[in-house]
Chain A
């Protein structure tokens, strides 16, 4: 099977690999040169050019490394557990999405994650926003309606069939369906227990302003974010 690196490898799934034995799992052998570098924590996708900076210093540091690196497939936490979901929207994967785009080294410059998160909220919105102080549920679905500018966040609930606990995500942090699905996949590792599934067997659906359930991806991203009320991930029943 083909491991879709871009979607399958989580950025920040907690590794619980007690008793891990490489031989028990199928491993994917990667021949790209970039794979010879230590696979650093921040990469969601191993894009060659993104690694140039880090790569250079790593080469200086490490010298020759074996060309082939094997990656354990189950970087997921395979157990459905409350603790995992309790962490909510963990800062790292959102940050790293920005870091990927901005093409730089993990954890540099050394700014606390929490501060970076605040900064990104500033950058996304030039106008001063006012957080709607209305009740929680409506704040989930609406932007601020007070006319001083768009709200800083657009939270929607995401459920996945078979997963007890729903998540909340801020759609403002994504700019495309791809980015959204990448992130959702890292958020719902429980659903990936069966490693033979690949991404095509999941469908992302959403409930729009009118209460109808639609398949995500048909309308332009911007239109989608203006209309979406909540999300649900469904598994396609495949052969």
Chain B
């Protein structure tokens, strides 16, 4: 009987594998047999490490020697909300130095919530001759000096996206470091920079890069300069404006309007800081082509928003402040039948009273009017079970549902009951739900619903909810596809955690802060589960100076094949099998 291994040349297999992009499929391929495993690992070009501490750079390099594109994530999601103390970790330096020697042909680095220094940026700029893509999403630790190195040395750079990173602004002249003969920019996002960049350098750069598709400016680029930029890049597909304000002048307006009209390919708009409503009509000519509109920094009122949004019949994504009001969302529901994603952010998140008439009704309208709506992030101040049930029934195709009722423990405002049945309806009807964030008054009941129905759920965020360990137990024992669980200020403790310890190895990570998990339980978990790093984060000092039954402040548990990390600050302790390692 002929053996497959002999009849199929490696080159053919490699060629076939090159069509397989998804990690899951490639992982499956690599398990077929030894030779497939080897061929696959030599041909894998993209690696995604969802938790930079789950594996060491050496191990990745050893397995996949010919990688061209790397994506890494560092801090836990709750770091976005200041729940992870500064200095916790997420340093990318070890990865960059390892890759600098191992992957000379590396083309793409994408980082999220990591700390990257100017030294690393410089190393990147000098180590990878064919470097093309740098995406730094919510990163920190670097300055415009690092960006200058990238600009100066990366001759083949196509994409520089600074996301919402914290960049130390030392000089706006880094942009001038792109050489005069550099023309390959395709995507530039500098929206996060607080200070002005050299405008003439920006203009010249935009003017000489014919393939520029995405340009996201920062707030410091004034409106009267925007027309100029647009005229140099009429091929733009995605634009983020700077400050959208200027004295109302007819010449500025007509230049701007003309420039926008000239951008026939424009599909995505963002920016719009400090909006002067009189200038909004300048974008009207292109509204009907827009697929994505980010007005989440635009402090304009509902009537203007309605005028704008009603012209965007092809809109698929809208991010907006709650200034849109229920009335605006009604208009959205009526005009934008192709809407897939809606995010409504609060204009006054820390105020005690509602400042705008935006309620659950707006979301209900959109769920009724927009049949393709599948992703929602909604901040509001009141909700009812009835509304949630209506939304659930309207939109069984929902895949991401994040609701934030601003005041913790807020009940159904009509019945004063917990919102358990409302969220229960969401998980029951929306069978493909992958991401869910809860809020409002919730008992253990809601977790029972979630454990029973949310079988495709991958990420769950819980705050100020539940009554007992049973709640946590329902989640961990019921949600088969859970990868990330983040919990804050819930009365969940040791029992559910220890009873479901094995589950944690099937997940990427678990975060629990201000809950009732004791130090003793953490130690036990660390001892029982060598495949997990159980990190206790506590700024009060070493937890073993307090009774074992004392609750710890923050817990971060994640699976890893590379053991406890060695870059922990003084307020993080890893519970390990070997007690001696605990003090490192």
The verdict on A223 contacting chain B, using a C-beta distance below 8 Å, is no
A123 neighbours in B (Cβ, 8 Å): 348
- Nearest to B488 among chain A residues (CB) is A107
Residue A148 at the chain B interface, CB threshold 8 Å: yes
B85 contacts A41, C-beta separation under 8 Å: yes
- When the two chains form their complex, are residues A15 and B196 in contact, meaning their CB atoms are under 8 A apart? no
B residues near A61, Cβ cutoff 8 Å:
489-491, 514-516, 551
Interface centre among A87, A123, A129 (most CB of B within 10 A): A87
CB distance B349 to A119 under 8 Å?
A: yes
Residues of A close to B310: CB separation below 8 A: none
Say whether B541 contacts A92, CB under 8 Å.
no
Q: Name the interface size band of chain A.
A: 35 or more
Does B64 sit within 8 A of A, measured CB to CB? no
| A14 near B87: Cβ-Cβ < 8 Å | yes
CB neighbours (8 Å) of B464 from chain A are: 57
B463 interfacial contact with A, CB 8 Å: yes
**How far, in angstroms, from A180 to B558 measured CA to CA in the complex?**
40
Task: Please judge, given known A-B contacts A61-B551, A130-B245, A131-B243, whether A108 and B81 are in contact too, CB under 8 Å.
Answer: yes
**Are B166 and A133 closer than 8 Å at their CB atoms?**
no
What residue of chain A has the Cβ atom nearest to residue B537's Cβ?
A41
Q: How far is the CA of A87 from the CA of B406 in the complex (A)?
A: 31
Complex: chain A residue closest to B87, CB-CB: A14
The answer to whether B514 and A58 touch across the interface, beta carbons within 8 angstroms, is yes
A129 and B553 within 8 A (CB):
no
> What are the residues of chain B within 8 A of A87 when measuring CB–CB?
140-141, 166, 168
Contacts of A72 in B (CB 8 A): 541
* Interface residues contributed by chain B, number (CB under 8 Å): 76
- From A40, A75, A91, A130, B246 is in contact (CB under 8 Å) with A130
Question: Do A139 and B196 touch (CB < 8 A)?
Answer: yes
Cα(A62)–Cα(B78), bound, Å: 21
Question: Shortest Cβ distance from A79 into chain B, in angstroms?
Answer: 12
| Contact pattern, A 52-83, Cβ under 8 Å of B = 1, otherwise 0 | 00100110111101100111100100000001
Residues of A near B408 (CB, < 8 A) are 57, 105, 108
**Which of B64-83 touch A at CB < 8 Å?**
78, 80-83
Given known pairs A92-B82, A133-B220, the reply for A15 and B243 (CB within 8 Å) is: no
Is the Cβ of A136 less than 8 Å from the Cβ of B172? yes
A92 B86 Cβ-Cβ under 8 A: yes
CB distance from B548 to the nearest CB of A (A): 13
Indicate whether A86 reaches chain B with its CB closer than 8 angstroms: yes
Are A15 and B539 touching (Cβ within 8 A)? Answer: yes
When distances are taken between beta carbons in the complex, the residues of chain B under 8 Å from A14 are: 86-87, 569
Question: A80-97 toward B: CB 8 Å interface, digit per residue (1/0)?
Answer: 000100111011100110
- A to B CB contacts below 8 Å, 15 in the list: A15-B569, A15-B571, A86-B168, A90-B86, A91-B166, A106-B83, A107-B83, A109-B404, A112-B80, A114-B164, A122-B297, A128-B245, A133-B199, A133-B222, A152-B219
Other than the given A15-B571, A57-B464, 9 more pairs (CB < 8 A) read A15-B539, A20-B542, A39-B539, A92-B86, A106-B82, A111-B346, A113-B80, A122-B297, A131-B220
Interface residues of B (CB under 8 A from A): 78, 80-83, 85-87, 117-118, 138, 140-143, 164, 166, 168-169, 171-172, 192, 194-196, 199, 219-220, 222, 225, 242-243, 245-247, 273-276, 296-297, 299, 345-350, 379, 404, 406, 408, 437, 461, 463-464, 488-491, 514-516, 539-542, 545-547, 550-551, 553, 569-571
